[in-house]
Amino acid sequence: MLLGTVSVASPTVPPTIEDLAIPHHLRHDFDGQLELLGYDLSTAEVRAGETVRVILFWRALHSMESDYRLHLQAQDNEGNVWAEGEFPLAKEEYPTNHWNEGEVIKGQYDLAIDAATPTGEQTLNFKLQTLRLGSGQASNLQPFDYAQDRPPTSNFQPLATLSVVAPERLFTVPTEIQHPLRANLADKVAFLGYDLDKTTVKPDGTLHLTLYWQALAKMETSYAVFVHLLDAQNRTWGQQDNAPVKGTHPTTSWLPGEVVSDEYEIVVDATAPAGEYQIEVGMYDSGTMLRLPAFDEQGNPLPSDRILLSKVRVD
């Protein structure tokens, strides 16, 4: 339902530095055109394969003829780069050549840390590149660091320090899987089988289920797992949907060949009628809600892109 139209306009007076409540203050002047006032991070400790949000506070010193782009990278002490990205300073729809003199912008940038990143400290670096309109040529812009009273000596400049934590990993398929069962999800994930603590449960009771996955490739999308308890009419009487391992081990952090043990507790609806139920599992993209295509061990498509497990009796 459309309630109405809202008109959004730029403030006539930009906020003061104090109004911005910048957690980490800086003062980087880029060619007298643009100033970096400070930054914030969503977290100073990030797991390999996850994303850190970098927040930068900018101020236009003049109306600009160029569009500036931000480059971020995370680099270890040996010079290895484990994350890199290029971003517009605000949004693609609001390039810097549209900014007004004195305007203050809070930019947010999501930097994905490579899943193979080892545990240790990383330096978060940044640089600006400008594309002069009509020229088609880009050049790096060097900031003047007032704190050091000198221009920098390299393109990338240190911004902050990140602590990266690599999860413990298993690359051997467990031999004690209670119910081995093979399936393939879009050549990204293999399903290896599951453990189930019981096949008879009461209404309001809990089923303890462990799923075993194996990564077939590195993934740039964080897929959610669905676990549903269904009756004969495909009505859901218990479910749990989340990123693997209770959200702590997203698929973006998996490495090829890695085996993931993924536990669930499915609470049966207190009003569930007595009868036979089916457990279905699989994965989907939470952004599009589309399930990963599922295939059995022989490569045949599985109906509804789901893997069916044991039947359960509710008494």
Domains and CATH numbers, the chain: 17-165 (2.70.50.60), 179-314 (2.60.40.2550)
The pLDDT of 306-310, averaged and rounded, is 97
pLDDT, mean of residues 141-169: 68
Q: Specify the pairing of strand 45-47 against strand 157-165.
A: parallel
pLDDT for 60 beyond 90: yes
Rounded alpha-carbon distances, angstroms, from residue 168 to 115, 224, 248, 304: 12, 20, 12, 33
pLDDT in tens, 31-50: 899 999 999 999 999 999 99
Q: What's the pLDDT tens digit per position in 215-255?
A: 999 999 999 999 999 999 999 999 999 999 999 999 999 99
What's the rounded Cα separation, in Å, for the pair 3 and 298? 53
pLDDT of residue 11: 67
**pLDDT of res. 136:** 47
CA dihedral 281, 283, 286, 289 (to 10 degrees): -80
Beta strands in 113-188 (DSSP E): 120-132, 138-141, 143-145, 157-165, 179-185
pTM assigned to the model: 0.82
Tell me the mean pLDDT in the region 106-120: 97
State the average pLDDT over residues 25-32. 90
The whole-number pLDDT of residue 133 equals: 45
User: Smallest Cα–Cα separation from 258: which of 171, 194, 186, 176?
Assistant: 171
182: pLDDT strictly greater than 60? yes
Q: What is the pLDDT of residue 150?
A: 36
Mean pLDDT of 181-196: 98
Q: Has residue 117 got a pLDDT over 80?
A: yes
